[in-house]
Amino acid sequence: MAHIDLKQPILDKNDQLARELRQRFAENHVFVVDLLASPGSGKTSTILATIDALRDEFNIAVIEGDIASSVDAERIKAQGTPAVQINTGGACHLESAMLKRAIDMLDLERLDLIIIENVGNLVCPTDFDLGENMKVMILSVPEGDDKPLKYPGVFQAAEAVILNKVDTMPVFNFDEEAFTSAVNQLNPQAPIFRIAATKEQGVSEWAEWLAEKIRAVQ
Amino acid sequence: MHELGIMTGVMDAVEKSAREAGAQKVLEVTLSVGEMTEAIEDALQFAFEVLSESSQLCSDATLKINMISPKSECLECGAVYTHDRFHMLCPECGGFATQLLEGRELQIDSIEVDLPDDAESGADADKSGVSDDELGQ
Fold of B3-69+101-136: hypothetical protein PF0899 fold (3.30.2320)
Query: How many whole angstroms separate alpha carbon B70 and alpha carbon A25?
Result: 31
Please report, for chain B, the start and end positions of each structural domain, with discontinuous segments joined by +.
3-69+101-136
Residue range A2-22: average pLDDT? 94
What single DSSP character describes residue A157? H
Chain A interface, best mutation among B38, B48, B76, B88, by max A CB count within 10 A: B38
> Is the model's pLDDT at A105 over the cut of 60?
yes
Residue range A105-130: average pLDDT? 94
- With a cut of 70, list the residues of chain B below it in pLDDT: 1, 118-137
**Residue-level pLDDT at B120:** 55
**Residue-level pLDDT at B1:** 61
Q: Closest Cα partner for B7 from B64, B56, B57, B45?
A: B45
**Residue-level pLDDT at A76:** 92
Report CA-CA distances (Å) from B28 to A3, A140, B39, B42.
9, 44, 20, 17
Query: How many whole angstroms separate alpha carbon A58 and alpha carbon A74?
Result: 21
Query: How many whole angstroms separate alpha carbon A36 and alpha carbon B42?
Result: 25
Please report, for chain A, the start and end positions of each structural domain, with discontinuous segments joined by +.
13-217
**Residue-level pLDDT at B25:** 95
Query: How many whole angstroms separate alpha carbon A117 and alpha carbon A110?
Result: 20
Q: How do B98-102 and B71-74 pair as beta strands? A: antiparallel
Give Cα A71 distance to the centre of its chain.
18
**With a cut of 0.95, is the ipTM above it?**
no
Share of chain A above pLDDT 90, in %: 87
**Residue-level pLDDT at B97:** 86
Q: Closest Cα partner for A73 from A61, A88, A90?
A: A61
Contacts of B125 in chain A (CB under 8 A): 1
Query: How many whole angstroms separate alpha carbon A152 and alpha carbon B87?
Result: 10
CA atoms within 13 A on the CB side of A45: 19
The string of pLDDT tens digits covering residues A36-76 is 999 999 999 999 999 999 999 999 999 999 888 888 899 99
- CB proximity A67 to B under 8 Å: no
Fold of A13-217: Rossmann fold (3.40.50)
Residue range A128-150: average pLDDT? 96
**Residue-level pLDDT at A21:** 98
- CB proximity A216 to B under 8 Å: no
Residue range A18-33: average pLDDT? 98
